[in-house]
Structure 1
Amino acid sequence: MRLLFLGDLMGRAGRSAAADALPTLREKLKLDFVIVNGENAASGFGLTSKIAGTTIQAGADVITGGNHTFDQKELLNVIDADDRILRPINYPEGTPGRGFAIYDAPRGKKVMVINAMGRVFMNAMECPFRAIDAVLKKYRMGVAVHAIVVDFHGEATSEKMAMGHFLDGRVSLVVGTHSHVPTADCQILDGGTAYQTDAGMCGDYNSVIGMQKEEPISRFLTKMNKERYSPAEGEATICGTFIETDDRTGLAKRIEPLRMGPRLMEHVPVV
């Protein structure tokens, strides 16, 4: 199968660019399944049901989240009913929504997506390693599902890399989100799992991780909050991770970054 993961949609610029590009990307890359991180899609903070619907209509199969998942409280009205919207699996018991689900893909294939959040320099959460491990003990790749993608939303590169090696051989892809900066370490680990520390963001890179520059710079200089953060609204660059999997084992045969837009060196996989 061919799968595409798009990094955090950052505000209007990011979500609009992704929605515009997804139909073409699905056709050009002959994609079977698309996952998008949407936790910053609504003005940089959270996700609304309207934005989720637009993103799915454009070509996303699943939208994952992170520490801003519930910033828009209206999402609480739909997240239990719509399994195409995930929140981190290691939120405390009783939190609305779900942290993983299994989805139908073309040719009778099934794809599991797991969303988890790190704990280093992040809010206190349950252990993401144990939470994912418990799911994988019930659903084996190559038996119950044909591919498994893990969106690990975290701050620390060490924690993300540890998760990649912890899951090596048991999932198709471990990809990091949250930092909004694409890393140059796309690789296939020893056990056959594709890995990238961070997919980057879909947003305006003429910014401070997607926010207009003035307020972040001011806070660093003065240690004072003068205004709210506002997403940068210039032309967006789309960043993500493309993989091809072995239909029999679910392990990765290929991984490449995707970068499309005005600010970063472009790279679009060829299929």
Structure 2
Amino acid sequence: MTALGFLYPGHSAEDDYPRIEQLLGSDIRVDLVHTDIGEDAHRVDALREMGSAERLAAGVEELRLAGTEAVVWACTSGSFVYGWEGAHEQVRTLARRAGMPASSTAFAFVHAVQELGVRRVAVGATYPDDVASLFADFLRAGGAEVVAVRSSGIITAAEVGTWGEAELLALARAADHTDAEAVLLPDTALHTAAHIPALEKELAKPVLTANQVTVWEALRLTDRRVNAPELGSLFTKEPIIQV
């Protein structure tokens, strides 16, 4: 049994995690601890406060007691708003507090893009323009070429959590670009786990979503690889062998 730990901000799309655990169809356990988000706002100052070391530390002990082997801060915006170096410091601090490997959803996107072997990506963000631009900057710092960014201007995670498949598909279509080799949909408040095959069929290319890449990142940290076609191309990709 491999136990994966996640610090999830508030309550929006946390039901994606037991769904993903079921779809993995293996000896994988997903342990989720909710963190206090403070003010629910896709605004830089509120996001930086949500991702502060103090707020993340509050949930770490519960994951330690559960016997998890790695922890991922299951929030994209609450990481990339710190910038490339600041986000690295965030996960280093989390790893020290937790006493286990750590990462965040922001880095999960970077690593997943590398895993797929693609470079040019399009972003479909629920965030306002300024926050979406910061995510694009973060991806560029990680080596990706961002060919298009579509933002939806939504302020709260609570509103994002009400979106269904129709809104999700509309965002993905609007974000797609002919030059993009993959489409990225950040925001762990967005329900996506049940819709990834439909997204990839609609766009005819890999689609990476926040909760999907978050679980994949935890598996990566524990050196586990699980073939799960219902979770999209990322979970069926053969590993890239470096020479």
TM bucket normalised to smaller: 0.3 to 0.5
| Greater fraction of residues in helix | 2
| Greater fraction of residues in strand | 1
Please give the TM-score of this superposition, normalised by the length of structure 2. Answer: 0.37
Please give the TM-score of this superposition, normalised by the length of structure 1. Answer: 0.34
Give the number of the structure with larger relative contact order, counting CA–CA contacts within 8 Å between residues 6 or more apart.
Answer: 2
User: Greater CA radius of gyration, 1 or 2?
Assistant: 1
